[in-house]
A and B are shown apart, each in its own frame.
Chain A
Amino acid sequence: MSDPARDALAAIERRAVRHVGIAFGVSALASIGLAVTYWTGGQVQVEGSLLAISLGALGVGFVLVARRLLPQGPYTEERDVLPSTDTEVEAFETDLERGEGWLTRRGFIVRMLGAAAAALGVAALFPIRSLGPNPGRTLFHTKWRRGSLVVDEQGNAVTVDTLDVGGVLTVFPEGHLEVEDSQTLLIRVSDDSVVTRSGREDWAPEGYVAYSKVCTHAGCPVGLYQQDVKELLCPCHQSTFDVVDGARPIFGPATRSLPQLPLTVDDDGQLRAQDDYDEPVGPGFWNRGR
């Protein structure tokens, strides 16, 4: 005689088993497909999809097993009391005392051990110094020198005819292409010499103004020149600098003007630096003003 309730349960279980079997089967097929894909040359979308099916079907199978075929509980487990009993704690403290009491009675040994450990610890820190050179005055100057020839990124000399008014060019000192701290933005703002700030009367011959391209905020290359308003914009954090006013920061987090490179024109019409920047380029640091 059949029990309808038990039959229904058995049917549900049979169906669950079938679904799990299908899931694992799909996974196996996808894995075989994955191997074939790899063997025949590989293709990223196919690999990803098949791997996803292979793993996902396994996951579905396991979840189906957990939810439909395994005991659901709920089961209850009592928690242990986390703190130990006073007796246990006291026994522990007594045993700890065995070593600690011995040590505290012999303070001389403890002090000498402390000295030895401290000395070893300090000595072990010294090799860290091998990781890098002393910063010294490295951050205070660039590769620009008195008379450095201004060259573009290909190393070609820049002459007074290179840029039209409104033109921009990234330049380096000759022989130091792509040196990070020496990258300089050359902008031709007019046909005549311009004065961006008092004391810089002869720094911008023929309208060529040169500023450090390293942002004074976080060091990104300040490369976006907006010709209509004569502003330089840093693409990283949107610091904006006024080109005709000594690259004074007018918006964003930058606090300092971009350092200006004093230029001159030699007898061949080539641009040269009068000297290095007169202040450290790039982002600030603790002793920048010293």
Chain B
Amino acid sequence: MIVKRLARWFDDRLGASGFARTALNKVFPDHWSFMLGEIAMYSFVILIITGVYLTFFFTPGTREVVYNGSYEPLQGVTMSEAYESVVRISFDVRAGLVMRQIHHWAALLFIAAIIAHLMRIFFTGAFRRPREINWMIGVSMFLLALGNGFTGYSLPDDQLSGTGLRIAYSVALSIPVVGTWITFLIWGGEFPGTEAITRFFVIHILIIPALLAILLTAHLVILVRQKHTQFAGPGRTDRNVVGAHLWPTFMAKTVGLFFLTFGVLAALGGLAQINPIWLWGPFEPAAVSSGSQPDWYLGWLEGSLRLLPHWEIRAFGFEIPNPFFSGVLLPSVTFGVIYAWPFLEARFTKDRAEHHVLDRPRDRPVRTAIGVAVLTFYVVLFAAGANDVLASRFDLSVNQVTWVLRGMVLVLPVVAALLAYRLCRELAALKPEPTMVTLERTASGGFVEAEVEVEAEASS
């Protein structure tokens, strides 16, 4: 058989049969929440597939050209090469629009899956020893994914992304001491400059994807070395892992998941319009657009910029401008705490032992309450990122909505934490009805379960 001969050919040269057999027999525990990381990984693969296609047609330049493609409302309009090429991809490159839209949807799903995966790891305590390294690698990939989302979003050079870049420039400018230098080195001069699109392109298609690929590889190698965590259950301990073999069962399942993920994204890319840049128009610095929101994963930053009152620090002619606190300090603290969490928790719980069996969130009420509080905080900020949309939807003044959200961002996390703590305690108190099992020894030395009626009193 051809496969066997091929395997023999490789083994003669690499001697890999032993290793390969171990790989085939690797055991994967089965739980729906273990698929979140897989969805993130497959989104990354889909982003690369669709992204390579887009790269063939995109022009990362700010030179001005006059549009004469097939989208009539823009004919004769002066625009950058970048914007022109994205309009061309959308209307004149066959299969271009569906690829572009799948790419955008995949980016949204990529980050959503990363965050869901992160939450799963957090609430089940899967970051505990020995997995601190993989936790930090994962958080780094989260950061890189946000960076790649923003740089990619900026590339079409449309009105909406230009506004986003303008705000990013102002946030970078607010960094004490080095802010002006940082912005001038990134943008090649004062905003808007001529370099940002070209440089973001290199960052978006080369630097960050390469870093992500390296970190993803490390993430998986460490995962294989340490083996999976698993939820508690019969026969499952910290010393073993129970589930299906990689080959063939898990392989078929995960390949199926890849195709299903891609299928859902293809449906979204074909049927759900996203970022119709031809409606936003090319970026003009003086043009105004209200109701402009970033992609969802930056909504919390936009919200923090909107909610922070007019505070800033000035002394001796130097100043720390307002956007520094909401745009630089908040994300720095956020990610600093996330990076440090495994070590912070170990310090407070004094639990430095190895763990492979996962916690249920209810069994760690304090951790769960903290996690819920933090999530609530960012959800309120996310809502605040659309305070103008909320105001017009509910027919309120933006100022009222802003004041309400300022209150909610402080109060709701506390309320949510108390509720979560209480709920954990109540759920943990709901012990399942204990069942008594009587075992009988067989002649050959094994055990079988004997069917015995158990009296309710006997169990207590």
| Residues B240 and A77 in contact, CB atoms below 8 Å apart | yes
Task: Please name all residues of chain B whose beta carbon is closer than 8 Å to the beta carbon of A254 when the two chains form the complex.
Answer: 310, 322
| Residues A287 and B184 in contact, CB atoms below 8 Å apart | no
Query: Of residues B97, B267, B322, B398, which shows the largest number of chain A Cβ atoms within 10 Å of its Cβ?
Result: B322
| Residues A62 and B290 in contact, CB atoms below 8 Å apart | no
Q: What is the number of residues of chain A that contact chain B, defined by CB distance less than 8 Å?
A: 83
Task: Please name all residues of chain B whose beta carbon is closer than 8 Å to the beta carbon of A55 when the two chains form the complex.
Answer: 259-260, 262-263, 266
B114-154 interface mask toward A, CB cutoff 8 Å, 1 = contact, 0 = none?
00000000000000001000000000000000000000000
Contact for B184 among A134, A219, A238, CB less than 8 A: A134
| Residues A217 and B170 in contact, CB atoms below 8 Å apart | yes
Task: Please name all residues of chain A whose beta carbon is closer than 8 Å to the beta carbon of B371 when the two chains form the complex.
Answer: none
| Residues B244 and A75 in contact, CB atoms below 8 Å apart | yes
| Residues B94 and A255 in contact, CB atoms below 8 Å apart | no
Q: Does A200 make an interface contact (CB < 8 A)?
A: no
Q: How far is the CB of B352 from chain A (nearest CB, A)?
A: 13
**Cα A240 to Cα B267 with chains together (Å):** 42
**Cα A224 to Cα B323 with chains together (Å):** 21
**Cα A128 to Cα B306 with chains together (Å):** 33
Q: How far is the CB of A32 from chain B (nearest CB, A)?
A: 16
- Which of B171-179, B373-381, B418-426 contacts the other chain? B171-179
Q: How far is the CB of B398 from chain A (nearest CB, A)?
A: 5
**Cα A213 to Cα B287 with chains together (Å):** 10
B286-312 interface mask toward A, CB cutoff 8 Å, 1 = contact, 0 = none?
111111100000000000011111111
| Residues A284 and B256 in contact, CB atoms below 8 Å apart | no
| Residues A213 and B170 in contact, CB atoms below 8 Å apart | no
- Which of B203-211, B313-321, B435-443, B447-455 contacts the other chain? B313-321
**Cα A252 to Cα B167 with chains together (Å):** 15
| Residues A63 and B257 in contact, CB atoms below 8 Å apart | yes
| Residues B292 and A62 in contact, CB atoms below 8 Å apart | no
- Which of A36-44, A107-115, A203-211 contacts the other chain? A36-44
| Residues B285 and A224 in contact, CB atoms below 8 Å apart | no
| Residues A219 and B166 in contact, CB atoms below 8 Å apart | yes
| Residues A287 and B285 in contact, CB atoms below 8 Å apart | no
Task: Please name all residues of chain B whose beta carbon is closer than 8 Å to the beta carbon of A44 when the two chains form the complex.
Answer: 97-98, 101, 270
| Residues A283 and B306 in contact, CB atoms below 8 Å apart | no
**Cα A190 to Cα B392 with chains together (Å):** 30
Of all chain A residues, the one with the shortest Cβ separation from B315 is A289
| Residues B322 and A217 in contact, CB atoms below 8 Å apart | yes
Task: Please name all residues of chain A whose beta carbon is closer than 8 Å to the beta carbon of B252 when the two chains form the complex.
Answer: 62-63, 65-66, 70
Chain A, 247-290, CB within 8 A of any chain B CB: 249, 251-255, 282-290
**Cα A219 to Cα B323 with chains together (Å):** 10
Task: Please name all residues of chain A whose beta carbon is closer than 8 Å to the beta carbon of B175 when the two chains form the complex.
Answer: 286
| Residues A286 and B179 in contact, CB atoms below 8 Å apart | yes
Task: Please name all residues of chain B whose beta carbon is closer than 8 Å to the beta carbon of A131 when the two chains form the complex.
Answer: 185-186, 188, 195
Q: How far is the CB of B208 from chain A (nearest CB, A)?
A: 18
Q: How far is the CB of A48 from chain B (nearest CB, A)?
A: 1
Known: A132-B189, A252-B310. A48 touches B323 (CB 8 A): no
**Cα A65 to Cα B255 with chains together (Å):** 11
How many A-B pairs have beta carbons closer than 8 Å: the answer is 286
| Residues B256 and A76 in contact, CB atoms below 8 Å apart | no
Q: Does B235 make an interface contact (CB < 8 A)?
A: yes
Q: Does B191 make an interface contact (CB < 8 A)?
A: yes
**Cα A248 to Cα B265 with chains together (Å):** 48
Contact for A73 among B163, B243, B266, B305, CB less than 8 A: B243
**Cα A73 to Cα B27 with chains together (Å):** 10
Query: Of residues A48, A57, A73, which shows the largest number of chain B Cβ atoms within 10 Å of its Cβ?
Result: A48
Q: How far is the CB of B166 from chain A (nearest CB, A)?
A: 5
Q: Does B413 make an interface contact (CB < 8 A)?
A: no
B49-77 interface mask toward A, CB cutoff 8 Å, 1 = contact, 0 = none?
00000000000000000000000000000
**Cα A71 to Cα B166 with chains together (Å):** 56
Q: What is the number of residues of chain B that contact chain A, defined by CB distance less than 8 Å?
A: 103
| Residues B286 and A283 in contact, CB atoms below 8 Å apart | no
| Residues A59 and B354 in contact, CB atoms below 8 Å apart | no
B378-397 interface mask toward A, CB cutoff 8 Å, 1 = contact, 0 = none?
00000000011000000000
Known: A44-B98, A71-B249, A290-B317. A52 touches B174 (CB 8 A): no
Known: A82-B354, A238-B402, A284-B312. A71 touches B171 (CB 8 A): no
Q: Does A72 make an interface contact (CB < 8 A)?
A: yes
**Cα A79 to Cα B240 with chains together (Å):** 5
Task: Please name all residues of chain B whose beta carbon is closer than 8 Å to the beta carbon of A49 when the two chains form the complex.
Answer: 267, 270-271
| Residues A66 and B253 in contact, CB atoms below 8 Å apart | yes
Chain B, 229-266, CB within 8 A of any chain A CB: 235, 238-245, 248-250, 252-253, 255-264, 266
Task: Please name all residues of chain B whose beta carbon is closer than 8 Å to the beta carbon of A80 when the two chains form the complex.
Answer: 227
| Residues A59 and B98 in contact, CB atoms below 8 Å apart | no
**Cα A44 to Cα B102 with chains together (Å):** 11
Q: Does A61 make an interface contact (CB < 8 A)?
A: yes
Contact for A235 among B245, B262, B288, CB less than 8 A: B288
Task: Please name all residues of chain B whose beta carbon is closer than 8 Å to the beta carbon of A213 when the two chains form the complex.
Answer: 286
Task: Please name all residues of chain B whose beta carbon is closer than 8 Å to the beta carbon of A46 when the two chains form the complex.
Answer: 270
Of all chain B residues, the one with the shortest Cβ separation from A27 is B259
Known: A220-B166, A238-B306. A180 touches B288 (CB 8 A): no
Q: How far is the CB of A247 from chain B (nearest CB, A)?
A: 14
Q: Does A17 make an interface contact (CB < 8 A)?
A: no
Q: Which 3 interchain pairs have the tightest Cβ spacing? A: A48-B270, A284-B321, A62-B256
- Interfacial residues, chain A to chain B (CB-CB below 8 A): 38, 41-42, 44-49, 51-67, 70-80, 82, 128-129, 131-135, 138-139, 153, 170, 178-181, 183, 213, 217-221, 223-224, 235-240, 249, 251-255, 282-290
A-B contact pairs, 8 of them (CB 8 A): A55-B259, A56-B263, A75-B25, A77-B26, A77-B240, A129-B185, A252-B306, A285-B180
